Structure 1
Amino acid sequence: MMPTAAYIRRETLISMAINTALSLAFFCLVFGLGRRVPVWGVGGYVFDFGPQAFMIGLMATLVPGALARNALRKGLVAPWTGGSRLPHVLLLRALAVALASTLIAVGVSAGVLTIADWTILSPPFALLAKLTFGAALALIVTPPGLRAALTPR
Protein backbone atom coordinates (compact mmCIF):
# COMPACT_ATOMS: atom_id res chain seq x y z
CA MET A 1 0.00 0.00 0.00
CA MET A 2 1.39 3.38 -1.04
CA PRO A 3 1.55 6.05 1.66
CA THR A 4 -0.95 8.84 1.09
CA ALA A 5 1.60 11.66 0.88
CA ALA A 6 3.66 9.80 -1.73
CA TYR A 7 0.54 9.06 -3.79
CA ILE A 8 -0.55 12.71 -3.69
CA ARG A 9 2.95 13.90 -4.69
CA ARG A 10 3.11 11.48 -7.62
CA GLU A 11 -0.37 12.29 -8.91
CA THR A 12 0.24 16.03 -8.53
CA LEU A 13 3.41 15.83 -10.63
CA ILE A 14 1.53 13.87 -13.29
CA SER A 15 -1.28 16.45 -13.23
CA MET A 16 1.23 19.29 -13.58
CA ALA A 17 2.89 17.63 -16.58
CA ILE A 18 -0.39 16.88 -18.33
CA ASN A 19 -1.82 20.34 -17.75
CA THR A 20 1.38 22.02 -18.93
CA ALA A 21 1.29 19.96 -22.13
CA LEU A 22 -2.39 20.74 -22.68
CA SER A 23 -1.74 24.43 -22.03
CA LEU A 24 0.94 24.35 -24.74
CA ALA A 25 -1.36 22.64 -27.23
CA PHE A 26 -4.27 25.01 -26.63
CA PHE A 27 -2.07 28.10 -26.67
CA CYS A 28 -0.77 27.04 -30.08
CA LEU A 29 -4.32 26.42 -31.33
CA VAL A 30 -5.77 29.65 -29.99
CA PHE A 31 -2.91 32.13 -30.45
CA GLY A 32 -0.28 30.40 -32.58
CA LEU A 33 3.40 31.10 -32.13
CA GLY A 34 4.03 33.62 -34.89
CA ARG A 35 1.92 36.61 -33.93
CA ARG A 36 1.67 38.94 -31.00
CA VAL A 37 -1.05 38.11 -28.48
CA PRO A 38 -3.81 40.66 -27.76
CA VAL A 39 -4.50 41.01 -24.04
CA TRP A 40 -8.09 42.26 -24.05
CA GLY A 41 -11.36 41.30 -25.71
CA VAL A 42 -13.18 38.09 -26.50
CA GLY A 43 -10.56 35.57 -27.53
CA GLY A 44 -7.78 37.66 -25.98
CA TYR A 45 -5.21 36.59 -23.43
CA VAL A 46 -7.17 37.52 -20.30
CA PHE A 47 -10.34 35.98 -21.71
CA ASP A 48 -8.43 32.73 -22.35
CA PHE A 49 -7.64 32.37 -18.65
CA GLY A 50 -11.34 31.54 -18.15
CA PRO A 51 -11.52 28.34 -20.20
CA GLN A 52 -7.96 27.35 -19.28
CA ALA A 53 -8.57 27.70 -15.54
CA PHE A 54 -11.98 26.03 -15.74
CA MET A 55 -10.67 22.98 -17.58
CA ILE A 56 -7.57 22.60 -15.43
CA GLY A 57 -9.60 23.01 -12.24
CA LEU A 58 -12.17 20.52 -13.49
CA MET A 59 -9.86 17.88 -14.92
CA ALA A 60 -7.13 18.17 -12.25
CA THR A 61 -9.82 17.39 -9.69
CA LEU A 62 -12.06 14.98 -11.59
CA VAL A 63 -9.57 12.55 -13.16
CA PRO A 64 -7.14 12.20 -10.24
CA GLY A 65 -10.13 12.05 -7.89
CA ALA A 66 -11.69 9.13 -9.77
CA LEU A 67 -8.35 7.34 -9.93
CA ALA A 68 -7.71 7.95 -6.23
CA ARG A 69 -11.14 6.70 -5.23
CA ASN A 70 -10.50 3.52 -7.22
CA ALA A 71 -7.01 3.09 -5.72
CA LEU A 72 -8.43 3.58 -2.22
CA ARG A 73 -11.19 1.03 -2.87
CA LYS A 74 -8.60 -1.52 -4.08
CA GLY A 75 -6.35 -0.90 -1.08
CA LEU A 76 -3.50 0.47 -3.21
CA VAL A 77 -3.22 3.72 -1.27
CA ALA A 78 -3.73 4.59 2.38
CA PRO A 79 -6.68 6.84 3.21
CA TRP A 80 -6.21 10.50 4.06
CA THR A 81 -6.95 11.03 7.73
CA GLY A 82 -6.93 14.82 7.82
CA GLY A 83 -10.43 15.35 6.42
CA SER A 84 -11.47 17.79 3.71
CA ARG A 85 -13.73 20.82 3.37
CA LEU A 86 -14.41 20.10 -0.30
CA PRO A 87 -17.66 18.41 -1.35
CA HIS A 88 -17.68 14.63 -1.03
CA VAL A 89 -19.39 14.09 -4.40
CA LEU A 90 -16.65 14.05 -7.05
CA LEU A 91 -18.50 15.96 -9.77
CA LEU A 92 -19.61 18.68 -7.34
CA ARG A 93 -16.06 18.93 -6.00
CA ALA A 94 -14.62 19.25 -9.53
CA LEU A 95 -17.18 21.89 -10.55
CA ALA A 96 -16.59 23.91 -7.38
CA VAL A 97 -12.84 23.87 -7.91
CA ALA A 98 -13.25 24.72 -11.62
CA LEU A 99 -15.53 27.69 -10.94
CA ALA A 100 -13.32 29.06 -8.16
CA SER A 101 -10.24 28.61 -10.37
CA THR A 102 -11.90 30.48 -13.21
CA LEU A 103 -13.01 33.44 -11.12
CA ILE A 104 -9.64 33.81 -9.42
CA ALA A 105 -7.57 33.32 -12.59
CA VAL A 106 -9.49 35.80 -14.71
CA GLY A 107 -9.58 38.34 -11.88
CA VAL A 108 -5.89 38.08 -11.08
CA SER A 109 -4.76 38.07 -14.72
CA ALA A 110 -6.96 41.07 -15.51
CA GLY A 111 -5.65 42.90 -12.46
CA VAL A 112 -2.00 42.19 -13.18
CA LEU A 113 -2.27 43.09 -16.86
CA THR A 114 -4.24 46.25 -16.05
CA ILE A 115 -1.59 47.38 -13.57
CA ALA A 116 1.16 46.51 -16.06
CA ASP A 117 -0.80 48.46 -18.72
CA TRP A 118 -0.07 45.85 -21.39
CA THR A 119 -2.30 45.46 -24.42
CA ILE A 120 -0.15 43.15 -26.56
CA LEU A 121 2.20 40.34 -25.48
CA SER A 122 5.04 38.69 -27.33
CA PRO A 123 4.34 35.01 -28.12
CA PRO A 124 7.28 33.63 -26.07
CA PHE A 125 6.33 35.63 -22.97
CA ALA A 126 2.61 34.85 -23.30
CA LEU A 127 3.32 31.14 -23.81
CA LEU A 128 5.73 30.91 -20.88
CA ALA A 129 3.19 32.61 -18.61
CA LYS A 130 0.41 30.24 -19.75
CA LEU A 131 2.61 27.16 -19.23
CA THR A 132 3.63 28.38 -15.78
CA PHE A 133 0.01 29.09 -14.93
CA GLY A 134 -1.10 25.63 -16.11
CA ALA A 135 1.51 23.88 -13.98
CA ALA A 136 0.91 26.14 -10.97
CA LEU A 137 -2.86 25.72 -11.03
CA ALA A 138 -2.50 21.94 -11.21
CA LEU A 139 -0.07 22.14 -8.27
CA ILE A 140 -2.62 24.15 -6.28
CA VAL A 141 -5.83 22.22 -7.03
CA THR A 142 -4.73 18.60 -7.38
CA PRO A 143 -3.59 17.92 -3.78
CA PRO A 144 -6.76 19.13 -2.01
CA GLY A 145 -8.89 17.29 -4.56
CA LEU A 146 -6.93 14.10 -3.92
CA ARG A 147 -7.13 14.53 -0.14
CA ALA A 148 -10.91 14.85 -0.48
CA ALA A 149 -11.07 11.75 -2.69
CA LEU A 150 -8.93 9.76 -0.25
CA THR A 151 -10.91 10.79 2.83
CA PRO A 152 -12.99 7.81 3.97
CA ARG A 153 -16.74 8.45 4.15
Structure 2
Amino acid sequence: MTNADLHIRRETAVSMAINTVLSGVFFLVAFGFVNPVPVWGVGHFVFDFWVQAFAVAFMGTLVPCALSRRALRSGRVASRPSSIRLPANLFLRSVVLALPAAVLSLAIGAVLFRALGVAHIDWNIALAIKLAFGAGLALVITSLALRATLAEAQG
Protein backbone atom coordinates (compact mmCIF):
# COMPACT_ATOMS: atom_id res chain seq x y z
CA MET A 1 0.00 0.00 0.00
CA THR A 2 1.40 3.41 -0.98
CA ASN A 3 1.63 6.36 1.33
CA ALA A 4 -1.10 7.98 -0.80
CA ASP A 5 -3.43 5.07 -0.07
CA LEU A 6 -2.60 5.26 3.63
CA HIS A 7 -3.22 9.01 3.54
CA ILE A 8 -6.65 8.46 1.96
CA ARG A 9 -7.54 5.83 4.56
CA ARG A 10 -6.37 7.97 7.48
CA GLU A 11 -8.04 11.18 6.30
CA THR A 12 -11.25 9.32 5.46
CA ALA A 13 -11.31 7.72 8.92
CA VAL A 14 -10.80 11.15 10.52
CA SER A 15 -13.59 12.61 8.37
CA MET A 16 -15.89 9.74 9.35
CA ALA A 17 -15.19 10.28 13.04
CA ILE A 18 -15.67 14.05 12.86
CA ASN A 19 -18.83 13.79 10.77
CA THR A 20 -20.28 11.17 13.08
CA VAL A 21 -19.76 13.42 16.09
CA LEU A 22 -21.08 16.48 14.26
CA SER A 23 -24.10 14.49 13.06
CA GLY A 24 -24.84 13.63 16.68
CA VAL A 25 -24.43 17.22 17.85
CA PHE A 26 -26.65 18.60 15.10
CA PHE A 27 -29.20 15.86 15.73
CA LEU A 28 -29.42 17.04 19.35
CA VAL A 29 -29.71 20.67 18.25
CA ALA A 30 -32.41 19.87 15.68
CA PHE A 31 -34.44 17.28 17.60
CA GLY A 32 -33.39 17.60 21.22
CA PHE A 33 -34.67 14.74 23.31
CA VAL A 34 -38.18 14.74 21.87
CA ASN A 35 -39.38 11.17 21.58
CA PRO A 36 -40.64 10.10 19.13
CA VAL A 37 -38.99 12.16 16.38
CA PRO A 38 -41.43 13.40 13.72
CA VAL A 39 -40.53 12.05 10.28
CA TRP A 40 -42.34 14.37 7.85
CA GLY A 41 -42.22 18.11 7.26
CA VAL A 42 -39.65 20.85 6.98
CA GLY A 43 -37.19 20.58 9.83
CA HIS A 44 -38.13 17.01 10.64
CA PHE A 45 -36.27 13.72 10.27
CA VAL A 46 -36.52 13.07 6.51
CA PHE A 47 -35.97 16.72 5.57
CA ASP A 48 -32.85 16.70 7.73
CA PHE A 49 -31.21 14.22 5.34
CA TRP A 50 -30.92 17.12 2.87
CA VAL A 51 -29.22 19.37 5.41
CA GLN A 52 -27.03 16.66 6.91
CA ALA A 53 -25.90 15.27 3.55
CA PHE A 54 -25.01 18.71 2.23
CA ALA A 55 -22.99 19.58 5.34
CA VAL A 56 -21.19 16.22 5.56
CA ALA A 57 -20.35 16.12 1.85
CA PHE A 58 -19.28 19.78 1.73
CA MET A 59 -17.02 19.64 4.78
CA GLY A 60 -15.92 16.06 4.03
CA THR A 61 -14.55 17.43 0.76
CA LEU A 62 -13.31 20.93 1.57
CA VAL A 63 -11.20 20.30 4.65
CA PRO A 64 -9.56 16.96 3.76
CA CYS A 65 -8.77 18.16 0.22
CA ALA A 66 -7.19 21.38 1.50
CA LEU A 67 -5.08 19.41 3.97
CA SER A 68 -4.14 16.91 1.26
CA ARG A 69 -3.03 19.62 -1.13
CA ARG A 70 -0.77 20.97 1.60
CA ALA A 71 0.60 17.46 2.21
CA LEU A 72 1.23 17.04 -1.53
CA ARG A 73 3.09 20.36 -1.76
CA SER A 74 5.27 19.54 1.24
CA GLY A 75 6.06 16.06 -0.07
CA ARG A 76 4.51 14.28 2.92
CA VAL A 77 2.21 12.37 0.58
CA ALA A 78 2.76 11.21 -2.98
CA SER A 79 0.34 11.68 -5.81
CA ARG A 80 -1.55 8.71 -7.19
CA PRO A 81 -3.40 8.12 -10.43
CA SER A 82 -7.18 8.22 -10.49
CA SER A 83 -9.84 8.46 -13.17
CA ILE A 84 -11.93 10.72 -10.92
CA ARG A 85 -11.92 14.31 -12.11
CA LEU A 86 -13.50 17.11 -10.13
CA PRO A 87 -13.28 20.93 -10.33
CA ALA A 88 -9.91 22.27 -9.15
CA ASN A 89 -11.50 25.02 -7.05
CA LEU A 90 -12.11 23.41 -3.65
CA PHE A 91 -15.25 25.41 -2.90
CA LEU A 92 -16.75 24.43 -6.25
CA ARG A 93 -15.55 20.82 -5.81
CA SER A 94 -17.30 20.71 -2.43
CA VAL A 95 -20.55 22.06 -3.87
CA VAL A 96 -20.38 19.67 -6.84
CA LEU A 97 -20.25 16.74 -4.42
CA ALA A 98 -22.58 18.17 -1.78
CA LEU A 99 -25.58 19.10 -3.94
CA PRO A 100 -26.14 15.68 -5.50
CA ALA A 101 -25.46 14.01 -2.15
CA ALA A 102 -28.13 16.19 -0.54
CA VAL A 103 -30.72 15.65 -3.28
CA LEU A 104 -30.15 11.88 -3.41
CA SER A 105 -30.17 11.57 0.37
CA LEU A 106 -33.46 13.43 0.68
CA ALA A 107 -35.02 11.42 -2.14
CA ILE A 108 -33.84 8.05 -0.80
CA GLY A 109 -34.86 8.95 2.75
CA ALA A 110 -38.31 10.05 1.57
CA VAL A 111 -38.86 6.89 -0.49
CA LEU A 112 -37.70 4.60 2.31
CA PHE A 113 -39.74 6.23 5.04
CA ARG A 114 -42.79 6.54 2.78
CA ALA A 115 -42.50 2.81 2.06
CA LEU A 116 -42.25 2.13 5.79
CA GLY A 117 -45.35 4.25 6.34
CA VAL A 118 -44.12 5.85 9.55
CA ALA A 119 -44.94 9.30 10.83
CA HIS A 120 -42.66 9.13 13.89
CA ILE A 121 -39.48 7.26 14.75
CA ASP A 122 -38.07 6.32 18.13
CA TRP A 123 -35.42 8.82 19.27
CA ASN A 124 -32.72 6.16 19.77
CA ILE A 125 -33.29 4.68 16.33
CA ALA A 126 -33.36 8.13 14.71
CA LEU A 127 -30.05 9.05 16.35
CA ALA A 128 -28.45 5.75 15.33
CA ILE A 129 -29.58 6.25 11.72
CA LYS A 130 -28.19 9.79 11.61
CA LEU A 131 -24.85 8.72 13.12
CA ALA A 132 -24.47 5.81 10.71
CA PHE A 133 -25.54 7.98 7.77
CA GLY A 134 -22.99 10.68 8.66
CA ALA A 135 -20.18 8.14 8.89
CA GLY A 136 -21.21 6.29 5.73
CA LEU A 137 -21.55 9.42 3.64
CA ALA A 138 -18.19 10.72 4.88
CA LEU A 139 -16.63 7.38 3.90
CA VAL A 140 -17.88 7.64 0.33
CA ILE A 141 -17.48 11.37 -0.30
CA THR A 142 -14.13 11.95 1.43
CA SER A 143 -12.53 8.95 -0.23
CA LEU A 144 -13.75 10.05 -3.65
CA ALA A 145 -12.66 13.66 -3.15
CA LEU A 146 -9.21 12.67 -1.87
CA ARG A 147 -8.62 10.34 -4.82
CA ALA A 148 -9.28 13.24 -7.17
CA THR A 149 -7.06 15.54 -5.12
CA LEU A 150 -4.09 13.20 -5.01
CA ALA A 151 -4.38 12.67 -8.76
CA GLU A 152 -4.11 16.41 -9.48
CA ALA A 153 -0.32 16.30 -9.37
CA GLN A 154 -0.38 13.50 -11.98
CA GLY A 155 -2.15 15.52 -14.64
**Normalising to structure 2: TM-score of the pair?**
0.94
Residues 1:98 and 2:84 are matched in the alignment: no
Q: Which amino acid aligns with 2:16?
A: M
Residue-by-residue CA offset, 1:114-140 (whole Å, 9 max, x unaligned) = 000011001000000000000000001
Q: Which residue of 2 aligns with 1:76?
A: 76
Partner SS, residue 33 of structure 2: coil
Q: Which consecutive residues of structure 2, in runs of 5 or more, have no partner in the other structure?
A: none
Q: Which residue of 1 aligns with 2:120?
A: 120
CA contact (8 A) 2:7 2:77 kept: yes
**Alpha-carbon distance in structure 1 between the residues aligned to 2:22 and 2:82:** 31
**Alpha-carbon distance in structure 2 between the residues aligned to 1:60 and 1:67:** 11
Q: Which residue of 2 aligns with 1:31?
A: 31
Aligned residues: 152
Residue-by-residue CA offset, 1:30-73 (whole Å, 9 max, x unaligned) = 10124211000011101111111000010000000000000000
Q: Which amino acid aligns with 2:107?
A: G
CA contact (8 A) 1:23 1:131 kept: yes
Shift of 1:144: 1.1
**Alpha-carbon distance in structure 1 between the residues aligned to 2:79 and 2:33:** 44
**Alpha-carbon distance in structure 1 between the residues aligned to 2:34 and 2:42:** 20
Identity %: 45
- Range 46-55 or range 77-86, more displaced: 77-86
Moved over 3 A (4+): none
